Structure 1
């Protein structure tokens, strides 16, 4: 009898595992381009010598039955963080997203896919205490590295692009 219980348990685990993997990869066709980004990533920012280290940990995951991608990230284990939802707006025929932060501001934006490994995001910022009104970021997936270049429209002028290189990670996104 123990043999049959063990066999049944093993079959249930295999079935559940297959079901979970199938669901994890089941995205609406407009979101399929983001499939390689699913998972956890981290970047260690370049900072001047002697300055406090800055690490960003982000997680991309399937959401809403594959109708959206949810991203979460935290800097320095929760000093700052945010969450976004990316989805396809069929009326606008565009990928759109909303990003909400622990700093009290939020953005709404659009994403333009440039190639199977590259996309650009344009954001309108609401509530920034630093005077940022727009953000433009280009993301590129190369050799299992996620390279992000970001510029900010701050007080009427675009900043020099900042580049961050994300690699796969086993860390977790944390909020305080």
Structure 2
């Protein structure tokens, strides 16, 4: 199922590139899925890692995910899919609320995604400077607010025995990028 999810995501994101580079977009979902797999999470969570941006950024719909990968994968992807008809602020507040109140696997998926995005941003800032902020819908202050809010709320309701190492890595990345 994981290989099928990877292939589905590769097809769905074909021709797309990352925001600040010419890198194929699919490199991001692959890294998210690999992080989840390395952390020992379920096959469904790993599949959701590959597929997490498909509904948001391609013509595919959540029903396509459910039909191909089952209800659980679709549930994880849906929990992390933003409603693009809403404003940036509304979408980000919704994600903060989800990460605060969601079950652990949803939190793991969201934070793995946000960490990979932040590490990519950190790399781009080093390579290209502050001009990378011009490619975002919100400036550095709003991005700082959003990432700090994710870092604060991701721990809510998780027993310390179930906090993955990449949560701490995310907190450190937020500190470095928004110092």
TM (normalized to structure 1)? 0.29
Q: Which has the larger radius of gyration?
A: 1
Which structure has the highest strand share of the two?
Answer: 1
Higher relative contact order (CA 8 A, sep 6+): 2
Question: TM-score, normalised on structure 2?
Answer: 0.29
Bigger proportion of residues as helix: 2
